[in-house]
Amino acid sequence: MAARVAGQPFGGFYKATLEGPRMSHDNHPQSPAIDSVVSFFTKIKSVRDNSFPNVKRLWFRGQSKHLSNWHLRPRIFDTSPTIENEVVQWFMAHAPARHPLCPTRDDYAGWLTLMRHYGDPTRLFDWSESPLTALYVAIQESDNQDGIVWILSPNQLNKTIESRHSPSKQMSFKMSEKGHLFSIADDRIVDSYIRSLFGDGHNWNNNLPPAAVYPSQLDLRMVVQQSMFTIHAGNLCLEHLQSEIKDYRFLYKVTILAANKYSIQEELSDLGFTLATMYPDLVHLGKWLDPAFPR
């Protein structure tokens, strides 16, 4: 658990864990490096043709650092169920004075989405339907660190829900819906992944696999970034889950060498992918217009 920092809520949780989710690459083969937007799309096509030949939908996640001790899971699972519940209750108590359109008290999926949208640590893990959005994130900062773009088949991931859990147990998914992509507000997702978080006696379920869900779009940023999520019930990592699944692949990794980040960043800027367009609000517009800010 994070060490306490004076003057911060939840024992300094935010300061101690905002470096991001931890992930490991040990169970994935190394991929050829990318040195341009064109070579990136060439690689995406190769991955689609060879690893996901019958899959229509792919999601993408950018990571600007290539660290061996990070996992593909939300950073909230580096804390405890008690802290997760406290973060939720704190946010719900203080958000209405700061946001005019908060969800109703019992809209649990709405609250979780709103929290994640404003950067709070939740059990939601960010993905995008846009490969260029993920590439933009992967080449930011950390010029001395390789970047990663993770590729996920959400429908293939959701097959694991039934392969690990009988429909008669925790989730009432029918076999005809195997691999189905769910709304975060679907009652089955809420009941299995979200509802207990808002009550007493909350705990984690480390056996329930993550599920791929699509959110309600709260504002323009989610539209621009084509936001999607995986939702997690415990500290089971996606890369570890993939190592358990022998019959099919749902996860793939593409490496962006640190030496190529700057040139790719220039290409993306020419294509209109900038801080101001990726984060369409006044705060980021001001940062982008600041002459001291690298564009």
Looking at per-residue confidence, does 45 or 25 come out higher? 45
Q: What is the DSSP letter of 80?
A: -
Instruction: Please report how many Cα atoms fall inside a 13 Å half-sphere around the Cα of residue 1, on the Cβ side.
Output: 10
d(CA 227, CA 217): 8
pLDDT at residue number 11: 44
The predicted-structure confidence for 76-118, as pLDDT tens digits, reads as follows 999 999 999 999 999 999 999 998 889 998 999 999 999 998 8
pLDDT at residue number 169: 47
- The total of other beta-carbon atoms located within 10 Å of residue 99's CB is 12
Which alpha helices (H) appear in 181-219, and where do they start and end? Answer: 187-189
Owner of token pair 């993939």: 242
Does this model's pTM top 0.75? My answer is yes
Q: What is the mean pLDDT of residues 1-12?
A: 42
d(CA 89, CA 97): 14
d(CA 52, CA 32): 18
Strands 59-63 and 211-214: unpaired
Give the tokens for residue 280. 């369409």
Which of 30-34, 115-119, 244-248, 277-281 comes out lowest in average pLDDT? 30-34
Intra-chain end-to-end CA distance of the chain, in Å: 37
Nearest to 225 by CA among 147, 146, 284, 142: 284
φ, ψ at 126 (rounded to 5°)? -75, 135
Nearest to 57 by CA among 65, 48, 46: 48
Strands 182-183 and 59-63: unpaired
Secondary structure (3-state) at 232: coil
pLDDT at residue number 15: 35
d(CA 225, CA 230): 15
pLDDT at residue number 49: 92
The predicted-structure confidence for 186-204, as pLDDT tens digits, reads as follows 998 999 899 888 877 678 9
The predicted-structure confidence for 130-154, as pLDDT tens digits, reads as follows 999 999 999 987 678 899 999 999 9
Domain spans, the chain: 21-289
